[in-house]
Structure 1
Amino acid sequence: MNLLYFLLVLLQVLFGLHFFMPLILSIAGKFRKHAQPSAQPVPADYAVIVTAYQQVNLIPLVVDSILKSDYSNYIIYIVADNCDVSELRFEDPRVVVLRPAEVLASNTKSHFYAIHNFRRDHERLTIIDSDNLVHPNYFNALNAVFDQGYQAVQGVRAAKNLDSTYACLDEAGDIYYRLVDRKLMFEAGSSAALSGSGMAFTLSLYRSCLEHLEISGAGFDKILQYEILNRGDKIAFAEQAIVYDEKTAKTDQLVNQRSRWINTWFKYLYLGAKLLLKSISSLNWNQFLFSVLLLRPPLFMLLMVSFIFFLTDLFVMPLFAIYWVLAALTFFTFVFKALRHFKADDKIYHSLKNAPKFIYFQILALLKVRKANEISVATEHYYEEKINK
């Protein structure tokens, strides 16, 4: 019986540790010196890869936002996979429309299709989704961080639409992850998690990480960040490099998207275990912290399991229930700290009362996880209004 109690306590401590991670990262970050971004960043040459699958209705908006940026040393490569490109016409010579002869249905295949059709040898590439809009200072902010010696940089993906409760809750979750998985992780001496777009790399690093791999389905960013960390490199966080991203606004969109994401977590969970073992053997702080992040379950699953543990403790070992109270207090403290730091819109605060409903739809997504690969490889986009930021 004592062994069972010990195992129960150990399991709960490991689960609850994820709620205390923001505090641990904050403390660790206090003891590290942080380099300041360059005041006059070097204007590197970028390949801007914009991927589209089946839908191109938002392409003119994202291209327009890039062309209006405070930067000019780039070429935009639009990879229109399985798309009708008859209406995609651009006068600016820096915009290149590529339509693969065969359906690729893969992010990395689209990226390398662009790479193999580059008009010149670019120093860096940045990946932008077709539903994104780019902040005017995006490239300068990336350069300021690259100039510190990093080869991989993740920017901020902020919401461009907060016109529904679900979009607001989606952004609330993103803001929490933005603080914990990117800002605090990077400041603590580890790496910022990649998020699929709004990220940039030296061309040499990107090719060395992925060109030899065959990746199908969602989750190329999971493999990419593992490959970067496995090489001993760091992914920097550029808080001022902002792209505006479309948030999920409809329930079916939310369920399908989250189903793919949950499937991706299960699919690549082994990478976290591999990185953990390597970090312990090599005593690598960067890899260790990041492996813990990779092993963390999706937030809604973490909350559900923790609540079950809390109810169990009330009957089995009431004193240990205090652990979960402290974990909850720490979690909500950093949720609101994240919202304050990134100046969340009032709509986001008001949407929090609907969080249980948001969790319910993610449970539905979990039930569909085995069929996730049968769902379309791209999220359908509904938001078409032009946003001037």
Structure 2
Amino acid sequence: MEHIISIIDWLLYILFAINILYLLIYSLASRRPPLPRPAPAKEHKRIAILIPAYREDAVISECVDACLDQDYPSDKFDIVVISDRMQPATNASLSKLPIRLVEVHFENSTKSKSLNAAMAAIGNDYDIAVILDADNVVTYDFLNDINDQFANPKVEIAQAHRVAKNLNNDMALLDAISEEINNTIFRLGHAKLGMSAALIGSGMAFRYDLFRDTMANVKAVGGFDRELELTLLYQGKHFHYMPETFVFDEKIQNTGDFSRQRRRWLSAQWHYCQMFAKYLWKALAARNWDFCDKLFQQVSIPRLLLMGFTFFLAVAFTCYRWIWGIKWWVLLILLAVALLVAVPKRYCTSRLGMALQSLPYTFLLMAANIFKLRGANKKFIHTEHGVPG
């Protein structure tokens, strides 16, 4: 019996060690010298800012106002709001602004349908497509930064640095820190090692025709950015990261939204892992390491579950035979180092200590989602924005 338990111990340990060492390598890589900033562009490209807005009446005006306030020639960019089930009063107010309002009506709404409908309506007279969420806010120099990045003809896809717009309660703070850890490991660390940065669903910029043609074949219900990302990586495209170009994003403010959002993410992760796994051998043969790396991310253990189960297994094996537990505590320390390196210093305050007390409950919510994934990727799960915490 003990022999069987020992085998299980080592199998689990190897699985968890691979996941944790992956995070540690890219977290430490983020501390390498800064990425070079692109030189100022000599010409202004035509940009379409695409903003899918599904029942986003509470936040869409702030997003549009920030886009209108860009220090960029007004004849060189269009703001395109794709209004899906927003109130007539909201649409009437938006129609008075110097933007393009595209109203859509779908029986089953998805972001991919909205984006495709918008591009069909506005035509092809653009060089760059920028994707924002309706709750996003950008700084006045956002489009100039995008334009500078795309002045390099090798740049076809870029991800901006998405940061928290609100820190009004413990859940929002933890969500903000989680996103910054993602920024550090999956974007900055990857970029500094010459790998593609991960896309995140908003604050993304693409060569317009590439985005239009790729999106025409994207039918995702949830996690359209994952399907888009894997499709483009398989084509050999490289994703650049813009760490100094900020997009402010509203963070989750209650446990209900957290549970629904993470269930959607987990479901999309598993769905696209199954969908693209068949391309792994061809990607390996072609040495397409970006695609292989992204596919590994799809099968990796979500970070919150990784923390919780590593701690649980460390305690369990220590209680069974303390010498077996030592290696698990070492692994837990390495995970802690990887995450602490990835957390920006501005979040390391006494308030963080208070917020961490809710981690066990969020871990339980995340663990419960494992049993609720069936069908979650076949329906659109909307996270409401603009609600006070």
TM-score normalised per structure 2: 0.87
Q: 2:159: which partner in 1? A: 154
How far apart in 1 are the matches of 2:279 and 2:343? 31
CA contact (8 A) 1:256 1:372 kept: no
SS in 1 for 2:132: strand
| 2:340 aligned residue (323, 336, 342) | 336
| 1:167 aligned residue (158, 163, 172) | 172
Q: 1:200: which partner in 2? A: 205
Matched, 1:67 2:65: no
Percent identical? 24
CA contact (8 A) 1:128 1:197 kept: yes
How far apart in 1 are the matches of 2:135 and 2:20? 32
SS in 2 for 1:370: coil
How far apart in 1 are the matches of 2:157 and 2:18? 28
Q: 1:302: which partner in 2? A: 306
Gaps of 5+ in 1: none
Q: 1:52: which partner in 2? A: 53
Q: 2:273: which partner in 1? A: 269
Q: Deviations over 1:241-280 (max 9, x none)?
A: 2111111112222222222122212222225634543342
How far apart in 1 are the matches of 2:280 and 2:11? 18
2:252 partner letter = T
Equivalenced residue count is 382
CA contact (8 A) 2:307 2:332 kept: no
Change (3 A) 1:224 1:165: same
Matching of residues 122-133 of structure 1 within 5 Å? 122-133=126-137
Worse-superposed segment, 218-227 or 186-195: 186-195
Change (3 A) 1:302 1:278: farther
Matched, 1:99 2:131: no
Q: 1:284: which partner in 2? A: 288
CA contact (8 A) 1:166 1:358 kept: no
How far apart in 2 are the matches of 1:34 and 1:268? 32
CA contact (8 A) 1:49 1:126 kept: yes
SS in 2 for 1:86: helix
Q: Deviations over 1:293-328 (max 9, x none)?
A: 222122222233433443454367755534332332
CA contact (8 A) 2:218 2:228 kept: no
SS in 1 for 2:236: coil
How far apart in 1 are the matches of 2:86 and 2:62? 17
Gaps of 5+ in 2: none
Q: 1:14: which partner in 2? A: 15
Structure 1 residue 45: deviation in Å? 1.4
2:184 partner letter = L
Matching of residues 327-366 of structure 1 within 5 Å? 327-340=331-344, 343-344=346-347, 346=349, 347-348=351-352, 350-366=354-370
Q: 2:39: which partner in 1? A: 39
Structure 1 residue 8: deviation in Å? 5.0
SS in 1 for 2:39: coil
1:39 partner letter = A
Change (3 A) 1:302 1:27: closer
CA contact (8 A) 2:167 2:173 kept: yes
The runs of 4+ residues in structure 1 deviating greater than 6 Å are 1-4, 27-31
Q: 1:177: which partner in 2? A: 182
CA contact (8 A) 2:124 2:209 kept: no
Matched, 1:188 2:193: yes
CA RMSD, Structure 1 to Structure 2 (Å) = 3.0
How far apart in 1 are the matches of 2:87 and 2:111? 18
How far apart in 1 are the matches of 2:375 and 2:218? 24
How far apart in 2 are the matches of 1:278 and 1:313? 40
